[in-house]
Amino acid sequence: MKHFLVNAAAIFLGALLFAASFPNPLFSFGLPLLAWVAYVPVFWVINRAGPAPLLNRKTGGKTIAASLAAASLWGALYGYAAYWLFMPWLNAFDPMAWMLVSIIQLLYMALLFPLLKLAFILFPQKGYLLQWLLWLSYEYLKTKGFLGFPYGITGYTQWQFPPLIGIASIFGVWGISALVLFPSAYLSAGLSAYHGAAENGSPKGALTFFRRERLAASAWLGAVAGALIFGFMQGDYIEETKNVAKIALIQQNADPWKDGAAGTGRILTTLKTLSVNALKEEPETELVVWPETAVTPRIYWSQHYRDNAGSYAMVKDLLDFLAAQNVPFLIGNDDARQEISKSGRWDRVDYNAALLLEGGEIKDVYRKINLVPFSEYFPYEKTFPRIHQALVKADTHFWKPGTDWTVFQAGRLRFSAPICFEDCFGYISREFTRNGAEFIVNLTNDAWAGSLSSQYQHLSMSVFRAVENRRSLVRAATSGQTCAIGPSGKILAMAPAFTETALNVEIPLLTSRTPYTVWGDLWAVLFCVSAFLLLLSGIIRSILRVNKTGRM
């Protein structure tokens, strides 16, 4: 019982350290230093979970199976607890969403922990290196596919330190995760050696481990020093260019999906007033940006089909206002079009889109490619009809994913506009940059959460998109965090959260390509391949040893 309680306490401590490392309700910016040791209790529990592993012809590996099963149970507990503490703001969207995300992470960790335990079993002396690679692989793989979810990647905890995260221009966020994760794997292995030296623990085992593995520690220290030198050498010179753009970012501080037509009218009035004030303050503004779905009446649809008199009146008033302005506007909107539906009939199809309007006319459109699973997109209607029907009953607004990597041209400006949590995925901003975008504009609506920590968690990921591609990134968010981020990851300006405001910013424009822009997530793939090959080699070696000697 004592062993169980100690393990449980360590797992909950690990979950708490994980959640506290990121922006959270108590510390809006998070406590990033905690991330460097946040996984020590977790790896320690994995290393000691279950009975002492034994593989030979007599036991047939029963104790190993028991150890892996114990690790899986602890993984399930950690996965659920960590994300339950990390994302309480999801409850504002739907309590089921909060629970669903935690359950998905429960399943991921229930699969990951046995692999981490197996690494410790197969490589008693250097298993921590394989554990490190396996965790990095998990962080990358969990961002892929329909359930791809980038929240909780360790590297994002360091978003406030531009000198450290500068290497993301080479390695992506995965390079930062590699630096931050290593101490946890290393120190927990030392603790395991301490407890393994004698029944009650002895410093001798830990000292032996740290002496033996000093080369790995030295390599890590060298890597951290190299990252900092790289970051400091670049410093602020990245932002020091005469080629700049002046942009007005509008934050209306109201969720456009609430309060019906009356609320929409108030929001449109606020958006127009804030825009006029911003243009008065800075007449040389080259672009005005409104947040995601800032305008809920469908602009294109209302223009061409006029099936709702109230919506058409609002759209006409908006277009008349825009026609009187001498600057282009980028506006989040539902871009509804007549297309052939899945049933083979002509029907209205909705896209979550960013519309570039000049002189009151739509000049170009970007339609969101990576939609939020379940809340925006569910392509498994036939496979899971009950889930689909439940989402329909919950009044889920389904969109069709876009396919074009639009690069907008507004005067001399060339930019792209990932929508909402698209700026959480490195490959999206990279693709825009490869297509010629000279800066990135993110349109976001996080107002539904009513949570400052939610908004800062989102912002922390945006910072890396700027660094990875050495592109300025601006955000127009419904309630925050509306800001400008320089190519080095430095926050150049930020509007106060939960206020009606317009933020005039001046951002540097760069056109050179970074290694990350060229290679993408190559290093993350290498982590995955290395982890797989090492795990496979360890299994094969152990089987051969058992066949030869009768024991592992």
**pLDDT tens string 106-139:** 999 999 999 999 999 999 889 999 999 999 999 9
141-149, long-range: CB < 8 A, 24+ apart: 141/528, 142/108, 143/425, 146/373, 146/379, 146/380, 147/104, 147/373, 148/370, 148/373, 148/425, 149/101, 149/104
Q: What is the mean pLDDT of each run of 10 residues along the chain (552 residues)?
A: 86 97 96 98 89 58 82 96 94 77 94 96 93 98 93 98 96 98 95 60 75 94 97 74 93 86 86 97 97 94 90 94 96 92 81 96 96 82 76 75 96 97 96 97 94 96 97 96 96 97 96 95 97 94 75 58
pLDDT at 199: 42
pLDDT at 493: 97
**What superfamily does domain 241-519 belong to in CATH?**
Carbon-nitrogen hydrolase (3.60.110.10)
For the chain, give the number of residues.
552
Q: Are 529 and 137 in contact (CB under 8 A)?
A: no
142-146, long-range: CB < 8 A, 24+ apart: 142/108, 143/425, 146/373, 146/379, 146/380
pLDDT at 380: 78
Residues 6 or more apart whose Cβ sits within 8 Å of residue 306? 312
- At 262-286, the pLDDT tens digits run 788 999 999 999 999 999 999 999 9
Report, as residue numbers or ranges, the catalytic residues. Answer: 292, 368, 420
The β-bridge partners of 295 are: 333
pLDDT at 208: 86
Give the start-to-end residue ranges of the domains of the chain.
2-237+521-549, 241-519
Helices (H), 402-451: 426-434
pLDDT at 552: 56
